[in-house]
């Protein structure tokens, strides 16, 4: 049975991906930052569905934590076949001129450096050039990478632009190593992340600008992520799926 590591899987899109992955035969590593209870609930619901999962706390922005995350994965499941770089954060709405360097650094450390560190560790085990059997990586970007998020969080949007560049470059770097690298760009999705921006009901405001006139669900994003990881997408790498209701 293949093993999937999902970062930031205690809530939101990560939790939905971890739960849906069980129906596709994955054993799942549910990474989280601090919310142990929520992570354990995700593991509990996977086990209740007959699947296998572990919860591992690790801050993806810290190298030592990321190394430990993959060591624990290997010690428990013996292999790593797929990674979803999902953990991501944003700060309260404000223009760039009001942002502190601490805030910008925190966003980039989690969203960009975290994804790069997790990919680096996964590649060590998955790459055929290292004796692995190959695998898949899906990066969770955002439509913010294209829209820029003016007056709200251009730091976050720029971090997702970096994720798009990472996806393209890494896909080419790993194309001959048995690893496909792709990304999804969610639009406005119903999760807790909007509360960190200071507007828990942001989806209800922004949905008027979405051609489909609604926010997306976490499961709709999870389906796109898992398709990109699946054998059905075996010739797809360096690709992006916008899961955004047409926005
Ligand atoms: P969310 O509901 O706020 O959940 C965030 C998850 O990330 C939680 O599991 C959290 O763990 C974890 N996390 C935060 N910082 C972490 C760190 N340093 N190390 C490890 N885990 C960390 O977020 P979401 O809305 O599902 O977003 C998931 C991804 O989708 C993000 O990359 C986000 O940028 C992207 N996205 C979301 C939307 C949207 O509208 N929701 C749109 C476009 C893109 P704890 O529970 O322990 O705090």
Return the residue whose CA atom lies nearest to atom 6 of ligand 1: 8
For residue 243, report the distance from its CA to the centre of ligand 1, in Å.
Answer: 16
CATH code for the domain defined by 3-243: 3.40.50.720
Residues involved in catalysis: 156
In this prediction, residue 112 has a pLDDT band, given cuts at 50, 70 and 90, of very high
- The closest of 200, 180, 206 to 128, measured between CA atoms, is 180
When pLDDT is averaged across residues 177-185 and rounded to a whole number, the result is 98
Distance of CA 15 from the midpoint of ligand 1 (Å): 10
Buried residues in 119-155 as b, exposed as e (16+ CB within 10 A):
bebbbebbbeeeebeebbbbbbbbbbbbbebeebbbb
Predicted confidence (pLDDT) per residue in 115-157, tens digit: 999 999 999 999 999 999 999 999 999 999 999 999 999 999 9
| Model confidence pLDDT, tens digit, residues 82-93 | 999 999 999 999
Centre of ligand 1 to C-alpha 228, Å, is 19
Among protein residues, the one whose CA lies closest to atom 31 of ligand 1: 88
CA of 89 to the centre of ligand 1 (A): 6
Sign of CA dihedral 119, 7, 227, 122: positive
Nearest CA to ligand 1 atom 34: 88
Q: Ligand 1 centre from 86 Cα, in Å? A: 6
Q: What is the pLDDT of residue 199?
A: 94
Confidence of residue 234 (pLDDT cuts 50, 70, 90): very high
Q: In 23-178, which ranges are continuous DSSP H helix?
A: 36-48, 63-77, 101-108, 114-126, 144-147, 154-173
Cα–ligand 1 centroid distance for 18 (angstroms): 13
Q: What is the pLDDT of residue 48?
A: 97
Beta partners for 85? 139
Q: How confident is the model over 187-214, as pLDDT tens digits?
A: 999 999 999 999 999 999 999 999 999 9
Ligand 1 close to Cβ of residue 14 (< 6 A): yes
Predicted TM-score (pTM) above 0.85: yes
Q: Is the CB of 30 under 6 A from ligand 1?
A: no
CB atoms within 10 A of CB 168: 17
Half-sphere exposure of residue 210: CA atoms within 13 angstroms, side-chain side: 20
Q: Is 149 in the pocket of ligand 1 (CB under 6 A)?
A: no
159 lines ligand 1 (CB under 6 A): no
Confidence of residue 78 (pLDDT cuts 50, 70, 90): very high
pLDDT at residue 197, as a whole number: 92
Residue 192 beta carbon below 6 angstroms from any ligand 1 atom: yes
| Reported confidence tier of residue 2, pLDDT bands at 50, 70, 90 | very high
Averaged pLDDT of the chain: 98
* Ligand 1 near 7 CB (within 6 A): yes
The residue ranges of every structural domain in the chain are 3-243
* Average pLDDT rounded to a whole number, residues 206-231: 98
Provide the greatest CA pair distance for the chain. Answer: 50
How far apart are the C-alpha atoms of 195 and 182, rounded to whole Å? 28
Give the nearest ligand 1 atom to 221 CA.
30
Mean pLDDT of the region 49-62: 98
C-beta of 197 in contact with ligand 1 (< 6 A): no
pLDDT in tens, 6-23: 999 999 999 999 999 999
| Ligand 1 contacts CB of residue 87 (under 6 A) | yes
């Amino acid at each position: 049975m293949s093993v999937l590591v999902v970062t930031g899987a205690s809530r939101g899109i990560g939790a939905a991906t971890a739960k849906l992955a069980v129906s596709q035969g994955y054993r799942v590593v549910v990474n989280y930052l601090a919310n142990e209870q929520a992570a354990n609930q995700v593991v509990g619901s996977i086990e209740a569905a007959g699947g296998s999962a572990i919860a591992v706390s690790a801050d993806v922005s810290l190298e030592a934590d990321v190394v430990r995350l993959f060591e624990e994965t290997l010690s428990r499941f013996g292999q790593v076949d797929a990674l979803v770089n999902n953990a991501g954060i944003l700060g309260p709405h404000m223009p760039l001129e009001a942002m502190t360097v601490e805030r910008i650094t925190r966003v980039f450390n989690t969203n960009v450096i975290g994804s790069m560190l997790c990919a680096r560790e996964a590649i060590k085990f998955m790459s055929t050039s290292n004796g692995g059997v190959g695998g898949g990586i899906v990066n969770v970007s955002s439509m913010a990478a294209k829209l820029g998020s003016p007056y709200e969080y251009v730091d976050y949007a720029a971090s997702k632009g970096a994720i798009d560049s990472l996806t393209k470059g890494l896909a080419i770097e790993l194309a001959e190593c048995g690893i496909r690298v792709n990304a999804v760009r969610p639009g406005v999705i119903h999760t807790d992340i909007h509360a960190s921006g200071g507007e828990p009901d942001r989806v209800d405001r922004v949905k008027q600008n979405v051609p489909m006139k609604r926010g997306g669900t976490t499961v709709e994003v999870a389906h796109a992520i898992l398709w990109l990881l699946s054998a059905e997408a075996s010739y797809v790498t360096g690709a992006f799926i916008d899961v955004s209701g047409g926005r």
